Amino acid sequence: MRHLRLVAQGLALPLLLVGAWWWVSADSTSPYFPPLREIVAEFADTWLFTGIRDVLLPTLGTFLAGYSIAIVAGVVLGVALAANDAVAGFLAPLLEFLRALPPIALVPAFISVLGLGEEMRISAVVFASIWPVLLNTIDGVRGVDVVIRDSVTVFRVPRAQRLLFVTLPGASPQIVAGVRVGLALSLIAVIVTEMVTSADGVGAFSRSAQLSFDLPAMWTAIILMGFVGYTLNLLFDRLEKRTLRWHLRMREPAS
Amino acid sequence: MALTQPHRGRAAEHGAALVSVAVRRIGLLVLALAGWELLARILDSRAVPAVAPAFDALVSTVPSGPFWAALGGTLQSWGLGMLLAAGIGLPLGLLIGSSPLAMRATRGVVEFLRTVPAIMLVPLAVLLFGATVEMKVVLITLSAVWPLLVHAAYGIGHVDAVARDSMRAFRLRRRDRVVFLYLPSALPLVATGLRVAATVALLISIGAEIVTSAPGIGYEIALGQANNAAPRSFVYVLLSGLLGVGINLGFGALERRVLFWHASQRARSTA
Amino acid sequence: MASAHARTGVVTAEAAKRAAPDVDAHVHVDRLHHVFGRGAAARTVLGSVDFTVARGEHVSVVGPSGSGKTTVLRCVAGLLTPTSGQVRLDGAPVAGPPESLAVVFQDYSRSLLPWLTVRSNVALPLRGKGIPAPHRRERAAEALAAVGLKDSLHQYPWQLSGGMQQRVAIARALAYRPEVLLMDEPFASVDAQTRSDLEDLVLRLKRVYAMTVIAVTHDIDEAVYLSDRVVVLSGHPAEVVESVPIDLGADRDQLTTKSDPRFARLRARVLRAVRH
Ligand SMILES: Nc1ncnc2c1ncn2[C@@H]1O[C@H](COP(=O)(O)OP(=O)(O)O)[C@@H](O)[C@H]1O
Ligand SMILES: [Mg+2]
């Protein structure tokens, strides 16, 4: 009963808003805000399922490739730098600058160097999302090391095992936070590179819809990326809960 | 005498530390420039300029009108967008966060809307407003409003239970409770939201300029690359990086000021 | 054995009630019954808690951790509405925090606001009393002087030691000029030396400020040392198992009072009731 009420409270506003959109836009003659009915029909036509295969999948592929490279490279480099206090301290201002640099600013340079292909797009995604992962890994690992430095018993554990079972789990909350920031940056980077290069993918689709004044198509692309972003974030929440639960369980015997 | 001696010693030590930091910073700068030069030689130097031409471009571009116009164009839309986003997002977030029912009811919508990559709205915004400042301001507002709204909503819910009980037990009036308890409690998360929003706003501003040729730093970056004027383009890339650093430093300083009482700042000042 | 204890407990509780009839009671905790949660998660924490406190009396409520002491105190403070039963202040039922009542919480670092200076923390509750700002500041400074903190007015709570922070919380309650002062394990989070200093501070303050005091603690020595009566809370759900009058007179100090044989006897009696 109580559960039902909570679900109803959560669903009421989304349904209300979609309903209002449908109703208000029903007789819309504005080219910019076509009736939702039209957008839904167009969505089914365009995206189910050829569009998803031919347009969305390339976008997701680029995103996944770049994002996973950034995570792996960021964590590995981060761990290596964290082990080297002097080097990490020396490089810190440069790394901070690279993180603060809006990554999209380098997309034109990436294009000039690497051309318009998949290589360039993946590189741009890596560059966009590696910095938060790298810097958070350094911070996280150093934080754990400071704590366990006092514990002699931990230091009798071989280095590799210590890294896998103590340091990385201990640093995981911060690493995960960096990876989450990277998720949003990766998505933006994929779409911008696609928009600029107009080859394929959702960004290019949306850009060419703009150039041909196909507004319903543009709306469908926005809605599609809303679903994609929402789903990716949900998946991430799941993953985060799991890593953090692991983290908590690791800490329990110690306290 | 006995008192001044160690004092002077500490001052000398402090000075030595400053010198060592300066030496390391300069060393890093030299190293970074060398790396850049190497990169420029390996890659096509028409795309990535070598250090010397970039420096020439820096010297000739910075005093020029277009440089300041581009900086102004980006800063103007960034500032207006941030103001609008804060004006909408903060009050709305605080209101939503003070009611658990409102929190539950809006959660789904907010989560959905804030994960739409704002950059997807660029084509629509361009058709509506053209490649103008208005277009950028709308996009920046739409991307910066969500971190502000969400952080404000969670912030206002982060009131310590014991503090709330104390204020209730002492019968603080509603207005006093809002001013002295709820708003200060929300401040740490609001500050985080502001920093995130400011970073996103800069990113979206530059992204929109690159994609649509609206006036600003991003447009100059794209223009330089397209016209085989890579050194000029890199001046603007550097500028965008400096803006990013400036935003971090500025909002960091603001946080230290406003959140002097918060555990994070206290830890930093004693460390 | 256990039933014998239970019987003596009931007898003394009733005797105490006869000695302090309802009419004179300043605070009457009347058959307080409380259940947390509902459905399958429901937990009855207070069975039927019943005791009275006379005007000017200092009563300590002791009991094992988790027995429901804080819950009782929150009901008295009007911060929690009991499932059934009520608290009466001068005969009037408590619904919401009463005007004449102040609370000192255990967790001083959380009950003081870190963004306000010590003096502003103490003066803040006076805003609701319609006192003009200069008078608020004056009263706060007076109360802080009374707890020995007249040099810390402009510091922030987090710049002070734990014991000093708890003094600020006490000063905040004093400045409020309450008729009833509630304290929830006020000295549980400070070191032993600070604790006995604070105990003596409370004894001293009671002579200056006439107040009815209800203090929750799990420290039996402290309860016996400070109060006129100790109410022992025990069992799941909790009930008052004993109410022990402490006839040690008004003049007490750490050395002579705590080495008094009567102190030892009272202490033992309370301890037996707690273990019951
Ligand atoms: N808000 C609450 N919701 C559910 N259970 C609670 C709540 N507050 C206290 N309890 C439970 O009630 C019992 C008594 O708590 P409390 O009054 O704080 O005990 P004491 O102060 O004597 O240590 C404990 O078992 C505690 O877990
Ligand atoms: Mg308690």
* Residue range B10-30: mean pLDDT, rounded: 83
Residue B40 pLDDT: 86
Instruction: Compute, in degrees rounded to 10, the torsion defined by CA atoms A85, A87, A89, A95.
Output: -130
Segment A115-125, tens digit of pLDDT:
888 899 999 99
Residues C66 and C128 in one domain: no
Partner-chain contact B171 C116, CB within 8 Å: no
Identify the DSSP state of C183.
E
Residues C113 and C70 in one domain: no
Residue A29 pLDDT: 85
Q: Is residue C2 part of a domain?
A: no
Q: List per-residue pLDDT tens for chain C, 276 residues long.
A: 344 444 443 444 444 444 444 556 888 988 899 989 888 888 888 888 899 998 889 999 998 888 889 999 999 999 999 999 899 998 888 888 998 899 999 888 899 999 999 999 999 999 988 889 999 999 999 889 888 888 999 999 999 988 889 889 999 998 998 999 999 988 887 788 888 888 888 888 888 888 899 999 888 888 998 899 999 998 888 888 888 888 887 788 877 888 888 888 888 888 888 887
Q: Is residue C10 part of a domain?
A: no
Residues C244 and C111 in one domain: no
Q: Of C129, C158, C177, which residue is a domain's last?
A: C177
C67 Cβ inside 6 Å of ligand 1: yes
Q: Is residue C63 part of a domain?
A: yes
Nearest CA to ligand 1 atom 3: C36
Stronger pLDDT, C103 or A46, i.e. the higher one: C103
Residue A153 pLDDT: 63
Is the pLDDT at A77 greater than 70? The verdict is yes
Is the pLDDT at B2 greater than 70? The verdict is no
C41 Cβ inside 6 Å of ligand 1: no
C66 Cβ inside 6 Å of ligand 1: yes
Residue C4 pLDDT: 41
Give residue C214 CA to ligand 2 midpoint distance, Å: 14
User: Regarding beta strands C25-36 and C43-54, do their DSSP bridges make them parallel or antiparallel, or are they unpaired?
Assistant: antiparallel
- On whether any CB of chain B is under 8 Å from the CB of C221, the answer is no
Residue C9 pLDDT: 39
Question: CA end-to-end span of chain B, whole Å?
Answer: 29
Segment A183-236, tens digit of pLDDT:
999 999 999 999 988 778 999 999 888 888 888 899 999 999 999 999 999 999
Compute the distance between CA of residue B94 and CA of residue B90 in angstroms, rounded to an integer: 6
Give residue B225 CA to ligand 2 midpoint distance, Å: 68
Is the pLDDT at B71 greater than 90? The verdict is yes
Q: Is residue C197 part of a domain?
A: no
Cα–Cα distances in angstroms (integers) from residue A29 to residues A25, A33, A203, C185, in the given order: 8, 8, 26, 70
Residues C81 and C138 in one domain: no
Nearest to C122, CA basis, from C145, C92, C99: C145
Residue B8 pLDDT: 57
Q: Is residue C9 part of a domain?
A: no
Q: How many domains, in total, are found in chain C?
A: 2
Instruction: Give the start-to-end residue ranges of the domains of chain A.
Output: 36-241
* Residue range B39-57: mean pLDDT, rounded: 83
- Percent of chain B at pLDDT above 70? 93
Contact assessment for residue B236 and residue B68, using Cβ atoms and an 8 Å cutoff: no
Residue B230 pLDDT: 86
Partner-chain contact C105 B166, CB within 8 Å: yes
The architecture in CATH of the region A36-241 reads Orthogonal Bundle (1.10)
Closest chain B residue to C174 measured between Cα atoms?
B170
Segment B223-242, tens digit of pLDDT:
988 888 888 899 999 999 99
Sort C29 into a burial class: Cβ within 10 Å, 0-12 / 13-18 / 19+: buried
Range of the domain at C143: 101-177
